[in-house]
Amino acid sequence: MSAPALAVLGAAGSLGRVVLERLAEAGVEAARVGAWDGAEAAGDTVPFGAAELPVGALAAFDPGAAAVVLVALPPREAAAWAARCAGAGCAVVRLGGEDDGIVLMPGGAAAPGAVATVPDALPLALALALRPLADEAGLEALHVVTYEAASGRGREGVEELARQSALLLNGRPVEPVVFPGRIAFNVLPLGDAQGAARAEAALAAALGRLLGIAPPPLALTRTEVPVFFGHAAAVHLRPARPLAPQRAQALLAAAPGLAAGGSAAAPATEALGTGAVHVGRVRADGTGGLALWVAVDDLRLLAEVAVGAVLPLVGGGR
């Protein structure tokens, strides 16, 4: 009795590669996995543990050939492919994107004929870190300031950061393509001059949905920083009822999917390569609230939740 076939759509992108890495680590057999991507990547191969998988042309992908589909494509394509595959009876997990419909949290499971979406990494990480604290002590106000990595803009974002950095170190000018301005050795607020920031409204809405508090009492400033992978956020929380840092620490340590009490180190050197949300520097702030530092390897978190949701279906071991 062989396990059903599993297809990864968008397998050659940054996120797709991490998904394949996670599937291989979990003991899924290479022979059961199909890698698919757009015309540019089709014909190449992608690593799968010690093996290599050929990348098929996405346009030629037949949902009837796979029981389980992981969709790691850009938002516009992702929605169409997810719907098509679910319509063909596949169990579909979409990684990132609008978290309406079935929202997949850590520990969740995929089901045939339906699309389950893993929320974007940043609202998911913040919700996982904040929920145990909000459940215990309520949430009167939340101040979140983000430090977002180039990986949030996909492989092109990562490549642009590398290219701009190399040019500037050689004293040459840079021309932004993917980012709205120079990202190398710079910090770019994700919003325009006078405030109206769709990116901030979208994150606030997503976080509110995940916490079950809409609208959340949230003051938010998002920025992009010259980091390749891994988002971080400085979080200041004003609870409705008193919450001592020690108690917060204990709640975080007991919550699933969190690595609490870590050092103050940032995502690229601490959270990277793990699927956990790292919460550190839990302390009283100077206004009667709590401060925390949240760091997450955005791609690994999405891969962890998505692969965890399909392993029971494809018979992975670990």
**Mask of contacts with its own copies, 225-244, x by CB under 8 A?**
xxxx---x-x-x--------
27 versus 180: smaller Cβ distance to its own copies: 180
150 versus 303: smaller Cβ distance to its own copies: 150
**Mask of contacts with its own copies, 283-312, x by CB under 8 A?**
xxxxx-x-x-x-------------------
Q: Considering the rule CB under 8 A, would residue 212 count as an interface residue with its own copies?
A: no
Q: Considering the rule CB under 8 A, would residue 138 count as an interface residue with its own copies?
A: no
The one-character DSSP state at 5 is: P
Q: What is the rounded distance in angstroms from the CA atom of residue 221 to the CA atom of residue 189?
A: 8
Contacts 24+ apart (CB under 8 A), 77-80: 77/10, 78/10
CB of residue 159 to its own copies, shortest distance in Å: 12
Of residues 90, 80, 83, 93, the one with CA closest to residue 113: 90
Beta strand spans in 40-176 (E): 45-48, 51-57, 68-71, 91-95, 102-103, 115-118, 141-147
Q: Considering the rule CB under 8 A, would residue 86 count as an interface residue with its own copies?
A: no
**Using DSSP, how many helices (H) and how many strands (E) does the chain show?**
7, 16
- Positions in 251-280 near its own copies (CB under 8 A): 261-269, 280
Q: Considering the rule CB under 8 A, would residue 186 count as an interface residue with its own copies?
A: yes
107 versus 181: smaller Cβ distance to its own copies: 181
215 preceded by a cis bond (ω within 30 of 0): yes
- The stretch near its own copies (CB under 8 A) out of 41-49, 60-68, 93-101, 182-190 is 182-190
Q: Considering the rule CB under 8 A, would residue 2 count as an interface residue with its own copies?
A: no
Q: What is the rounded distance in angstroms from the CA atom of residue 58 to the CA atom of residue 77?
A: 11
CB of residue 268 to its own copies, shortest distance in Å: 4
Helix (H, G, I), strand (E, B) or coil at 241: coil
- Strands 91-95, 68-71: pairing is parallel
Binding residues for its own copies, per CB under 8 A? 141-143, 145, 147, 161-162, 165-166, 169, 181-182, 185-189, 191-196, 204, 215-221, 223, 225-228, 232, 234, 236, 245, 261-269, 280-287, 289, 291, 293
